[in-house]
Amino acid sequence: MSSRTSAPASIFILTGAGISAESGVETFRDKGGIWSKVRLEDVATPEAFMRDPEKVQAFYNARRASLKEVAPNPAHRALARLEADYAGTVTLVTQNIDDLHERAGCRDVIHMHGELLIAFCAACGAREPAREALSPQDVCPRCGKVGTMRPDVVWFGEMPYHLDRILAALGEADLFVSIGTSGAVYPAAGFVAEAKRAGIETLELNLEPTEGSFQFDEARHGLASVLVPAFVEEVLAGCWS
């Protein structure tokens, strides 16, 4: 990426597990991550919820409780600063189901895989805050059905949320930045190819090279808590190299 004297008018940012891992949030796909300890078929599909709601609720209750033990890191806070101070448009899309972007001060976060702190009624579609444990005995406050309140997260076999909005924003971007994501989960893994086809500049900020690093115009590797604040400083200064 060549030196710049002006910032892009529109920046599209995608964040993944790597940005929250530095806050202590357990990852799913990394070596030693959650999917190496628990079968996703047992806790992360609609069929699993129907088969054993107690087990599924317990799994996500543990994830929810663990959020109380972590805090946003400098990468989260830098993105909040970019959103607040940047003269152009910033679209922040995350694959993460935690609330660390919001706690850092980000005001408009698109959660394409849902949010752990929201409960969703599988029967009527009602959504309610869920900061504490959920139970198979919970009653939907809207339709009154028992046992239908589940974590509002996108499970395997389900469509990610807000795809129309996400793809529209990506198509209008001047710069696509991927932060802390392995590039292994679609459709998000295909965003860099979409950006390249549209002539959008692309930048990867990740702990280590990914299988898709070669697709980016530039890839910087290291801690998100170091790389992201440096990137934000460059953008707000009107240039980066």
Radius of gyration of the chain (CA): 18
Q: How far apart are CA 229 and CA 224, in angstroms?
A: 8
Q: Is 29 exposed, middle or buried (0-12, 13-18, 19+ CB in 10 A)?
A: middle
Closest residue by Cα to residue 206 from 183, 188, 187, 190:
183
* Distance (Å, whole) CA 241 – CA 231: 10
162 noted as active-site residue? no
Choose, from 101, 113, 162, 221, the residue flagged as catalytic.
113
Q: Which two tokens stand for residue 148?
A: 């239908």
Q: Which two tokens stand for residue 157?
A: 């076999």
CA distance 80 to 9: 17
Q: Reading across the β-sheet that carries 127-129, which strands appear in turn?
A: 127-129, 114-121, 149-153
Tell me, rounded to whole angstroms, the distance of Cα 62 from its chain centroid. Answer: 19
Q: Which of 100, 122, 101 is nearest to 56 (CA)?
A: 122
Q: Which residues are catalytic?
A: 113
